[in-house]
Amino acid sequence: MNVPDLNRPDIAARTAAMTRHRRRIAQSRSTEEHLQIVERLQRDAMRAIRSDAIAYQAFMARNHHKRRREAVERLQTRLLGLPEPSSHE
């Protein structure tokens, strides 16, 4: 039987407490604050992607491939009466 070591922190309890704390902070934000955070994160992510030419090319290729695939699936659904396409990653 495992005896808990009282000198070691309970990771699960600490993680749960941090999650509750972060949720309270997020729920206290206004819509405008939330949108500002999302915009900043997107801006920072694009800056990071653009800083590496290979990463940027991979991002654009994936983005264009995904858009082409979704456009084809929408067209097939509309023209051929196929079932709605499943969502992709």
How confident is the model over 22-66, as pLDDT tens digits? Answer: 999 999 999 999 999 999 999 999 999 999 999 989 988 888 888
CA distance 83 to 33: 39
CA distance 47 to 38: 14
CB 84 within 8 A of CB 77: yes
More confident residue, 43 or 2: 43
This prediction has a pTM of 0.51
